[in-house]
Amino acid sequence: MQNFTLHTHNSELNFDGKNTASEMIEKAQTLGFQTIGVSNHMIVNEILNFPPTVEPMFHNDFSKATQCYLKHIEILENLKSKFKISIKIGFECDFFEDKNWRNSFEKMLKQLPIDYLIGSNHFIRNDDESYILNIYHLKKFNPKLTQEQIDHYTINYYKSTASLIRSGYFSFIAHLDYCTIFNLGEDSRFDSYKIAIMDALKETKTPLELNTSGFDRINRPHPDPKYLKYLENSVPLVISDDAHSTDNLGRHFEKAEELLKSYNYTNRFTLEMLKKPL
Ligand SMILES: [Zn+2]
Ligand SMILES: [Zn+2]
């Protein structure tokens, strides 16, 4: 059984977890994990203009975001001496292809002493990323989009996920088909784009997460286990609870282990595979 959890969130500095880092770490230690990775959201894009009360963890200023992340790293560094469990510091990062974004992103990364990044995609988008929409906001704000636009932006969601994989910044990729929780990109028109993502994983040998939060929402993990067959053991898999509270830590890990066994999926992620993004 995997004895570490690398995809967890907490509540300090307006991140979206329900418990403090200290509470999460303590619970992971109690559960017998040898390592916990803390991976709060890194969402920075200059076109994200929300009032701070609406989406306080969405940043539109790279230098302010850097200050926030440095503060967070400091909080975690201070906790290291208080626990036996090993603490790794990472972020779950939303990636954008735009060249200017990547320049600012790399500049920010150089200032952040972190152990790893998880590559994640929570945004549908238009072709040049001048319009980006967090998939939660489809329901929350009900933006005026035609079905044709939503389909097109969902195709771009899949395309940008393939680019995210090929970018090489990430230790592993989070919840590949996350948009399915809102029934986006479900029918066969989207299949070729999903295959392109699998091909990107296979070619780059980028590790992938089996995210157990899906068991609570759609009765299966992310990605859909049918993709495990396609991957044929070619990339290392890491089981993630995507814990936003102490109750979520280690959720459905046994079920995930059984599932991997039933697919004969033996290529597993190890902590040595964590890498710094630059
Ligand atoms: Zn996520
Ligand atoms: Zn997450």
Domain boundaries, the chain: 4-273
- How close is the Cα of 93 to the center of ligand 2, in Å? 9
Whole-number average pLDDT of the chain: 96
- How close is the Cα of 262 to the center of ligand 2, in Å? 26
Please determine, for residue 52, whether its predicted confidence score (pLDDT) is greater than 90.
no
**Local confidence band at 53 (pLDDT 50, 70, 90 cut-offs):** confident
- How close is the Cα of 76 to the center of ligand 1, in Å? 20
pLDDT at 42: 98
Mean pLDDT, range 194-218, rounded to an integer: 96
pLDDT at 181: 86
Angle at the Cα of 110 from the Cα atoms of 46 and 172, rounded to 5 degrees: 80
Mean pLDDT, range 4-19, rounded to an integer: 97
Which ligand has the nearest atom to the CA of 94? 1
**Which CATH fold would you assign to the domain 4-273?**
TIM Barrel (3.20.20)
- How close is the Cα of 122 to the center of ligand 1, in Å? 7
**Local confidence band at 240 (pLDDT 50, 70, 90 cut-offs):** very high
Select from 195, 49, 174, 178 the least CA-distant residue to 123: 178
Mean pLDDT, range 180-191, rounded to an integer: 91
Select from 43, 45, 67 the least CA-distant residue to 57: 43
pTM: 0.97
Which ligand has the nearest atom to the CA of 90? 2
- How close is the Cα of 38 to the center of ligand 2, in Å? 10
The pLDDT tens digits of the residues spanning 108-163 come to 999 999 999 999 999 999 999 999 999 999 999 999 999 999 999 999 999 999 99
Please determine, for residue 274, whether its predicted confidence score (pLDDT) is greater than 90.
yes
- How close is the Cα of 258 to the center of ligand 2, in Å? 22
- How close is the Cα of 120 to the center of ligand 1, in Å? 6
Is-cis flag, bond preceding 113, omega within 30? no
pLDDT at 78: 98
